Structure 1
Amino acid sequence: MKTILKNSLIIIFLTFYSMQAQDTIMPLWPENKIPNRIESDEKEVRDYTNILRISKVQEPTIEVYLPSKSNANGQAVLIFPGGGYHILAYDWEGTDIAKFLNGKGIAGIVVKYRLPSDVSQKEKYNVPLIDAQRAMRMVRSKAKDWNIQEDKIGIIGFSAGGHLASTLGTHFNEKVYAAVDEMDEASARPDFMALGYPVVTFTQTTKHSGSEKNLLGDTDNGDLEKHFSNELQVTANTPPTFLIHATDDGSVPVENSLLFFQALKDKGVSATMHIYPKGGHGFSLAREDVHLRGWTERLFEWMESLE
């Protein structure tokens, strides 16, 4: 009886340990050292109907999903869920993506970044980028612990999360916060970048006005609009990029991806783009669309080609 009990406890412990190893949530910042934060009564809100929607994020985190060591290929992808800079479609464009990547031996790290707020932040337009830079530096500093190669850490973002990803990919050297610890010595440059139906421009008629308003506010500011129109910020050092978009996207026009692709081409940056005739906006893994869901295989093929 004692042997059975002992074995049962071992199984429970190993199962718990395995779960923890596969899904670990870590705060991005040391306690009381979150940049651009204003103390307020604002609280995080979680709403779950068909998907988990998180808003008013106060404590940004990363949620780490690691494949088994025997399956791991050394690559990692930070994931930025979309939601118009108003909410995060946290499972639909976050944890579901991480689990899917794990099936290919890729570490998936979901970034629960702060959304712009006039109540709890200073310079709210910089806050998502602050958290994105920190997330990249944190993952790079943990690479050895997580069986990740430091030069194979990329990003993927969807919709407004695609805007944040493209912002990180073009503003990774911009100093938007003061270093808080040794992690901030690591590079914030992604090694590669994937953008799903991304918001890119704030200066063209094809912009997504909702994302612009939430990030930059109501006041017209041409300098900020240009600064965060990421097709204008591409350089030769922008990471290789993979883009997907649907032509019939009625929320974020396909021209956003076309603009970014052209900017990459003009700067000599390797770029791959897949434009689908149908799919609308926010299709995530598109598991119910036989044609559209192939984008994930195209992504994996592209990632393999980078090695």
Structure 2
Amino acid sequence: MKLDTIKLEHSSGATLTLYLHDIVELREKARPIILITPGGAYRFVSEREAEPVAIAFYNAGYHAAVLRYSCQEDARNMQPMIEVLESIRILKEHAEEWRIAADKIAVCGFSAGGHLAAASGTMWNEPTLMERLGYTGDALKPNAMILGYPVITSGEFAHRESFYNLSGSWEDDQISGFYSIEKRVNSETPPTFIWHTEDDQAVTIENALLMISALRRANVSFECHIFNKGQHGLSLCNTEVNTPNPHCEHWFGLCVEWLDSIGFGLE
């Protein structure tokens, strides 16, 4: 494994940690990569949803990367969106060197990190973001999104703390509404895998339902799994991350199967 951490250019503290497969004699082909954005309400970055998830995807044959993005007051002015899009650009620019399949970059996020992952797929062509990063076209666009119990809406079912940390507003107003993902989904949004639990009291299931409704209206391919039991923040749903839930643990295998089905399988 090649393990490296990069400080992002357009940030004072965000880092991108890479988990790259070594080039071996029997396999030199490029691999898809999963860019992971952990949760934490944009207040902190959850380590339970960081390296353990990266290692799981690595062991499934993918390259992986973890973005530890700006939080709290540093998350204002779209800063985490700048950082996730810069990370995608870095992965694309170094694709040949790192043996990454540049057209197979999936962003996998949990909770508020799910919001950030979803933002990468719906805000990659936001003019202000493209101008700040100095790129146009689809250079910043991910090819797929994996959303675990994601924060989506700034409306009735919002996780208010996440939107406050992003926008500085506790209300469902124009400022926080700018970040409401279900309003941003369109035909250019990449294919999406979503999982959630009916029991989630922190980020309610309506967030996932609003997202799949928006994807459906935009004719974007998606797969969604709603599990009946499980608290918020399950991550891999196993003892390693201290959230054992054998039923919900199936999400990971289902996700890998879904990735295969949209052409992200290992060649």
Instruction: Say how many residue pairs are matched.
Output: 254
- Cα distance 1:185–1:177, how it changes in 2: closer, same or farther (>3 A)? closer
Change beyond 3 A, Cα 1:219–1:274? closer
Amino acid at match of 1:215: L
Equivalent position amino acid for 1:28 in 2: L
Write the deviation string for residues 93-127 of structure 1: whole angstroms up to 9, x where unpaired.
0111111111111011000111141xxx5x81411
In the other structure, the counterpart of 2:41 is 84
**Aligned partner of residue 263 in structure 1, secondary structure:** helix
Matches of 1:79 and 1:289, distance apart in 2: 21
Change (3 A) 1:69 1:291: farther
C-alpha distance in 1 between matches for 2:210 and 2:170: 25
Correspondence for 1:112: 68
Q: 1:66 aligns with which of 2, 17, 20?
A: 20
Q: Quick one: distance in 1 between partners of 2:191 and 2:150?
A: 16
Matched to 1:141, the amino acid is E
When structure 1 is superposed on structure 2, of 239-248 and 70-79 the one drifting more is 70-79
Aligned residue runs from structure 1 range 170-209, under 5 A: 170-174=122-126, 175-176=128-129, 178=131, 187-203=139-155, 205-209=156-160
Partners of 1:103 and 1:254 in 2: how far apart?
30
Q: Is 1:236 aligned to residue 187 of structure 2? A: yes
Question: How big is the shift at 1:221?
Answer: 6.7
Match of 1:98 in 2: 54
Alpha-carbon RMSD across the aligned residues, in angstroms, is: 2.1
Q: Does 1:154 align with 2:111?
A: no
In 2: Cα distance, 1:170 partner to 1:185 partner? 14
Change (3 A) 1:185 1:116: farther
Q: Does the Cα contact within 8 Å between 2:125 and 2:137 map onto a contact in 1? A: no
Q: Deviations over 1:62-106 (max 9, x none)?
A: 00001343577611011001000101002x101111111111110
Equivalent-residue separation in structure 2 for 1:168 and 1:131 (angstroms): 10
Whether 1:143 and 2:99 are equivalent positions in the alignment is: no
1:126 corresponds in structure 2 to: 78
The amino acid of 2:92's aligned partner reads R
Cα distance, 1:144–1:292 mapped onto 2, change above 3 Å: same
Q: Secondary structure at the match of 2:96?
A: coil
Answer with 185-194 or 223-232: which moved more: 185-194
1:306 to 256, 262, 266: 262
Of the three residues 14, 26, 32, the one matched with 2:6 is 26
Of structures 1 and 2, the one with the larger relative CO (CA 8 A, separation 6+) is: 2
Displacement over 6 Å in runs of 4+: 183-186
Shift of 1:242: 0.1
Which structure 1 segments of 5+ residues have no match? 1-17, 36-57
**Could you list the per-position Cα deviations for residues 32-90 of structure 1 after superposition, in whole angstroms to 9, with x for gaps in the alignment?**
xx36xxxxxxxxxxxxxxxxxxxxxx411100001343577611011001000101002
**TM-score normalised over the length of structure 1:** 0.78
2:241 alignment partner in structure 1: none
Aligned partner of 1:257 in structure 2 is 208
Residue 59 of structure 2 aligns with an amino acid whose one-letter code is G
Q: Which has the larger radius of gyration?
A: 1
Bigger shift: residues 285-294 or 237-246: 285-294
**With structure 2 as the length reference, what TM-score do the two structures score?**
0.89
Paired residues of 1:84 and 1:159 also in contact (CA < 8 A):
yes
Q: 1:73 to 1:104 in 2, by over 3 A?
A: farther
